[in-house]
Amino acid sequence: MKCPYCGYHDSKVIDSRDVNDGVRRRRQCLKCSSRFTTYERLQPAALFVVKKDKRREEFSQDKLLTGIRKACEKRPLPTGAIDKLADDIEAKLYHQGKAEIQSAVLGDMVMEGLKSLDYIAYIRFASVYREFTDITALKEEVDTLISAEAKAPQLTSQLPLLPDEEFAGITKNRRRNRN
Ligand SMILES: [Zn+2]
């Protein structure tokens, strides 16, 4: 199990407990001392993703990672954040213990994860996944993010979606255009 923060290959177990039908282990990286959690469980028969057109495809962690990486390309994310997101999602999937999952549910999980990680990556993923049909739908989504951030800026450690001055400028322009 590689450290999700620095990628080092070895860690020690600092806590271990049974959860449902698996084992949860709290680990500490031997190199950077970061702590992370792993779940060990018996893998049920393969997990299938049911696509929109009803085709079933075996769940692939690689595919999940590729999709997330694409959305996060060139974003200033901490090392290991992408792998960690994919791992968390996979853990959740297996935790549900179901034999199949709708691709829409999986997509929502990715969007939820990206939203708390990086707004730009989130918008990128959402624009493909939700198939925004026009710029208005995309803009509505961005506006939602901006107003959520304006209301609760302390909840996020992300870079601001818009620099303050720019944001004020846009608001001003909008008003001007309306008048
Ligand atoms: Zn580490």
Phi (first) and psi of residue 50, to 5 degrees: -95, 115
Going from the Cα of 4 to the center of ligand 1, the distance in angstroms, rounded, reads 7
pTM of the shown model: 0.59
- Is 119 in contact with 138 (CB distance < 8 Å)? no
Ligand 1 geometric centre to CA of 82 (Å): 15
pLDDT surpasses 60 at 164: no
CA 156 to ligand 1 centroid distance, Å: 24
pLDDT for position 35: 95
Q: Are the CB atoms for 106 and 49 separated by under 8 Å?
A: yes
Confidence of residue 171 (pLDDT cuts 50, 70, 90): very low
The predicted-structure confidence for 74-106, as pLDDT tens digits, reads as follows: 998 888 899 999 989 988 888 887 889 999 899
Which residues fall within 8 angstroms of residue 44, CB to CB, at 6 or more apart?
A: 94, 97, 99
Separation of 79 CA from ligand 1 center, angstroms? 10
